[in-house]
């Protein structure tokens, strides 16, 4: 059973616990928690040290945790947050980069923490507040305000609005998916999974719900159910671009390059005018040592979008590998020209 596995999965359990620095959990309550793993115990110790402003102790705990669990993004983010407070921007940035590579949702989390509370009370928000006060049983204003709040990193308030919207229309699948997507950004994987499960229970034919749950499963390293969800999504909607792109990137991460190429090739048929897909496929061709095919894809991408400077840098580097030094030089010059505009 996947639920039983998740209780032992630290990629799922640690972020869901909320044991990050800045957690609002009371130290006394945290100290009374009975950890079920060494990872959870270290997360609690680090948070208690943080709450007691023993930052050097917290750093030592997180460093030890990283030495034991170097694939867990959780502890890198915790150490990054402590280093930020201590003014070690280089150390904070290094840990952020590692966490982002391991799970991009941690980038979203840190972005939220950095920008939370900076929203100005603008006219659009005032109008939505007024409309909701006037018609508290109307669904759309809550959705509109939630979307606005997410744009301004007020995720907690957005969750409240989506929850109210769900109470008004409890069978609306899109609302559960939207709220779950916000929970993903907050690294509340437990609540996100509940919402995606609810959406699928309401509508098994929701490709979007399966896509989002699959993305969550990838993040927590539950690869078999992730692939199952992607396949179900494509069975429901065989031309869903987002699913093919997500699955291709998953295959890349697993070094299954032939499968990734197959999905990217499908995407070139579904959206032949999207230069970015050719760039993604070219990168896989390079990794698979199909350099001429990669060059053809960069050529195609540049034909579609000749003003995107990075494409010339990518193609120039590839031409160097192919021994075309003159062509590489021209591409690098074009890159510099576009960068200077």
pLDDT digits (tens, 9 = 90+) for 53-69: 999 999 999 999 999 99
Has residue 117 got a pLDDT over 80?
no
Residue 146 to residue 160: CA distance in whole angstroms? 8
Can you tell me the mean pLDDT for 146-167?
95
Task: Write down the pLDDT at residue 211.
Answer: 98
Helix, strand, coil content of the chain in percent (nearest 5): 75, 0, 25
Task: Write down the pLDDT at residue 1.
Answer: 46
Has residue 216 got a pLDDT over 50?
yes
Q: Are 170 and 179 in contact (CB under 8 A)?
A: no
Which residues, 6+ apart, have CB-to-CB distance to 286 below 8 Å? 294, 318
DSSP 272-323: TT-HHHHHHHHHHHHHTT-HHHHHHHHHHHHHH-TT-HHHHHHHHHHHHHTT
Residue 149 to residue 125: CA distance in whole angstroms? 9
Task: Write down the pLDDT at residue 28.
Answer: 46
φ/ψ (deg, to 5) at 28? -65, -40
Residue 183 to residue 175: CA distance in whole angstroms? 12
The one-character DSSP state at 136 is: T
User: How many CA atoms lie less than 13 Å away from 293 in the CB half-sphere?
Assistant: 13
Q: How far is CA 282 from the centre of its chain?
A: 23
DSSP 176-226: HHHHHHHHHHTT-HHHHHHHHHHHHHH-TT-HHHHHHHHHHHHHTT-HHHH
Can you tell me the mean pLDDT for 157-184?
98
* 3-state SS class at 324: coil
CA distances from 299 to 227, 274, 316, 337 (A): 32, 13, 11, 18
Percent of the chain with pLDDT over 90: 87
Has residue 6 got a pLDDT over 70?
yes
Task: Write down the pLDDT at residue 36.
Answer: 75
Structure-token match 């998916």, residue found: 177
Can you tell me the mean pLDDT for 227-255?
97
User: 126 vs 157, which has greater pLDDT?
Assistant: 157
Task: Write down the pLDDT at residue 126.
Answer: 86
* Mean pLDDT for all residues in the chain: 94
For the chain, which domains are there? 2-115 (1.25.40.10), 239-341 (1.25.40.10)
Has residue 3 got a pLDDT over 60?
no
Which residues, 6+ apart, have CB-to-CB distance to 318 below 8 Å? 282, 286, 291, 294, 295, 298
In terms of Cα–Cα distance, which of 203, 158, 195 is closest to 176?
Answer: 195
Q: Are 261 and 281 in contact (CB under 8 A)?
A: yes
Task: Write down the pLDDT at residue 66.
Answer: 98
Task: Write down the pLDDT at residue 24.
Answer: 65
Name the pLDDT band for 241 (thresholds 50, 70, 90). Answer: very high
172-196 pLDDT, tens digit per residue, is 999 999 999 999 999 999 999 999 9
């Amino acid at each position: 059973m996947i639920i039983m596995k998740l209780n032992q999965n630290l990629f799922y359990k640690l972020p869901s616990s909320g044991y990050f620095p800045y957690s609002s959990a009371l130290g006394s309550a945290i100290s009374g928690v009975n950890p079920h793993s060494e990872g959870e115990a270290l997360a609690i110790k680090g948070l208690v040290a943080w709450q007691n402003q023993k930052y050097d102790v917290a750093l030592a705990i997180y460093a030890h945790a990283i030495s034991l669990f170097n694939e867990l993004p959780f502890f890198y983010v915790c150490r990054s947050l402590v280093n930020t407070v201590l003014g070690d921007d280089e150390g904070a940035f290094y840990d952020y980069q590692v966490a982002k590579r391991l799970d991009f949702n941690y980038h979203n989390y840190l972005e939220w923490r950095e920008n939370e509370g900076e929203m100005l009370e603008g006219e659009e928000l005032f109008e939505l507040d007024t409309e909701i006060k006037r018609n508290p049983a109307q669904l759309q204003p809550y959705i509109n305000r939630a979307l606005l709040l997410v744009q301004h990193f007020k995720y907690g308030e957005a969750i409240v609005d989506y929850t109210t919207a769900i109470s008004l229309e409890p069978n609306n699948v899109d609302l559960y998916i939207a709220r779950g997507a916000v929970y993903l950004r907050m690294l509340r994987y437990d609540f996100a999974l509940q919402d995606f499960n609810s959406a699928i229970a309401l509508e098994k034919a929701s490709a979007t719900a399966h896509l989002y749950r699959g993305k969550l499963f990838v993040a927590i390293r539950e690869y078999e159910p992730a692939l199952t969800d992607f396949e179900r999504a494509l069975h429901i909607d065989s031309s869903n671009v987002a699913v093919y792109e997500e699955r291709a990137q998953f295959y890349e991460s697993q070094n299954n390059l032939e499968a990734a190429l197959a999905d990217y090739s499908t995407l070139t048929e579904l959206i032949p005018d999207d230069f970015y897909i050719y760039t993604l496929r070219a990168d896989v061709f390079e990794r698979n040592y199909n350099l001429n095919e990669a060059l053809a894809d960069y050529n195609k991408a540049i034909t579609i979008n000749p003003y995107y400077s990075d494409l010339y840098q990518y193609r120039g580097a590839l031409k160097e590998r192919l021994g075309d030094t003159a062509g590489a030089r021209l591409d690098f010059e074009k890159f510099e020209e576009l960068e200077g505009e």
